[in-house]
Amino acid sequence: MTPQPFPVSEIVASRRPHRKDAARNFDALLAAARAAFAEHGAEASLEDIARRAGVGIGTLYRNFPTRRDLFESVYADEVNELCQVAEEVAGLEPWEALTAWLDRFTGYTVTKRAVREALDGDAEIFQACRKSMEAAGGPLFERAQQAGQARRDMSFDDLLRMIAGIAATAFDDEDQRRRVLSIALDGVRASR
Amino acid sequence: MTPQPFPVSEIVASRRPHRKDAARNFDALLAAARAAFAEHGAEASLEDIARRAGVGIGTLYRNFPTRRDLFESVYADEVNELCQVAEEVAGLEPWEALTAWLDRFTGYTVTKRAVREALDGDAEIFQACRKSMEAAGGPLFERAQQAGQARRDMSFDDLLRMIAGIAATAFDDEDQRRRVLSIALDGVRASR
DNA sequence: ACTGTAGTGGAGGTTTTCCTCCGGTTCGAT
DNA sequence: ATCGAACCGGAGGAAAACCTCCACTACAGT
């Protein structure tokens, strides 16, 4: 196990029960919720999620007393994975590292579209996710800027939102998604 | 009244009742639905929509027998407005015309996010909307390409999806939205 | 092995939303 | 002014989702 330097990992970990069976159920619920939110959007049925996870509805409610609690956990879980990825690509060249990370980003956010929709701004956990993302991806962006490959008149937050928007869009196929992403990134490149 | 050269306008017009009171209710329902979908997403309560429109639930169901019918109408209505805008900007310089249209596009699609989400692909009306958008915006894009200002290795559909994604994203403020949009459009510019 | 405690699952009451149905109303053509 | 067709609205039954509660089960520490 590698150490987790990001605030979000704490958040999910602290919710996870200690007992073996409970932890298993917790994980199953998180996975089921992730799938359900991706498929049916933010209003997915909680009973359905419990059923998919193979647990009773009561178990869902004990782990996540409100729908929002469940959202927050799914969201934090994804952000956490994304932070790990940022470390994986750290060895690449500045621009390649940034684009590789953003490429993975678009993959994860397919689910996040629905999740974020419900998490409109005012969640405390949202701040932690922000911070983690900044901590993970910010350096990649700054490195690309210092290498003269990314423009300086935009913030990391600008970049993130642009990519998030594109990631949430439905494309005809994987090719189109890549093409559009690379066009948008051409706009991020420092003008030659 | 200007003539309506786009297929979508037919679709909405053909649904609209002829009698005065009925037409008024139809319009009120459409407006209420638009607001409700923008606010609560695709699962907004139909009874709530009827209440907002100041009509009974029965009236809603007569005009739009299914939820999908209502979606389709709201969607077609917005696409229609967007087509009109394309004609308004036709007089500008090629690149300015394109960006002006896309800028208006981002405004309208705030609502459309929720609508499209539910209209996943297989609607007949969706084809008509596609066609109309293509007919309205396609020429603007091609003109910019012929003027050597837009890159040629992307399709109009690519452009539309990129913009739609950005339009659906929540930004801190109007400034950020404009900034991000213009960065993405820098990627669309023909490289100098 | 034993025991206390944390965890489990689902029955069922409550609330919300859906959608039909029909007695009464309004419009517009004559 | 009158008439009939088109339209209105909401009562109310069906279906779905929510969420509480508690008798039962399985884990972890001794």
The pLDDT profile of chain A, 192 residues, written as one tens digit per residue, is 455 567 788 888 889 999 999 999 999 999 999 999 988 888 899 999 999 999 999 999 999 999 999 988 998 888 888 899 999 999 999 999 999 999 988 877 666 666 666 555 566 777 788 888 899 999 999 999 999 999 999 999 999 999 988 888 878 888 999 999 999 999 999 875
pLDDT digits (tens, 9 = 90+) for B135-146: 999 999 999 999
Across the interface, whether the CB atoms of A169 and B184 are under 8 A apart is answered no
> What residue is closest to D7 (Cα–C1')?
B22
Q: What is the CA radius of gyration of chain B?
A: 18
Band of residue B6 on the pLDDT scale cut at 50, 70, 90: confident
Assess A123–B contact: CB distance below 8 Å, yes or no.
Answer: no
What's the whole-model pTM score?
0.83
The dihedral formed by the CA atoms of A130, A133, A136 and A142, expressed in degrees to the nearest 10:
-80
In strand D, the nucleotides that come within 7 Å of a protein beta carbon are 6-12, 16-22, 26-28
Structural domain total, chain B? 1
The closest of B7, B174, B6 to B86, measured between CA atoms, is B6
Residue B1 lies in a domain: no
Is the pLDDT score of B1 beyond 50?
no
Residue B181 lies in a domain: yes
Rounded to 5 degrees, φ, ψ at A189 are -60, 145
Which residue is closest to A163 within chain B, CA to CA?
A: B166
Give the whole-angstrom CA distance, residue B137 versus residue B139: 6
Q: What is the mean pLDDT of chain B?
A: 87
Distance A37 CA to C13 C1' (A): 28
pLDDT digits (tens, 9 = 90+) for B20-32: 999 999 999 999 9
Show the domain range for B109: 7-188
Q: Residues 6 or more apart from B179 whose CB is under 8 A from it?
A: A154, A158
* CB-count exposure of residue A6 (10 Å: 0-12, 13-18, 19+): buried
Residue A31 lies in a domain: yes
- CB nearest B161 (choices: A120, A164, A169): A169
The closest of B171, B166, B92, B108 to A165, measured between CA atoms, is B166
Residue B2 lies in a domain: no
Which of B45, B162, B176 is best to mutate for the A interface (most A CBs within 10 A)?
A: B162
Residue B62 lies in a domain: yes
pLDDT digits (tens, 9 = 90+) for B76-123: 888 888 899 999 999 999 999 999 999 888 877 666 666 666 555 566
Residue A89 near residue A100 (C-beta atoms within 8 A): yes
Taking contacts as CB-CB distances below 8 angstroms, the residues of chain B near A166 are 162, 165-166
Band of residue B147 on the pLDDT scale cut at 50, 70, 90: very high
Residue B126 lies in a domain: yes
Residue B67 lies in a domain: yes
- Domain of A90: which CATH number? 1.10.357.10
Which of A152, A163, A166, A189 is best to mutate for the B interface (most B CBs within 10 A)?
A: A166
Nucleotide with C1' nearest the B18 CA: D6
Residue B112 lies in a domain: yes
Distance A73 CA to C6 C1' (A): 22
Is the pLDDT score of B150 beyond 90?
yes
Taking contacts as CB-CB distances below 8 angstroms, the residues of chain B near A43 are 41, 43
- Three-state DSSP class for B151? coil
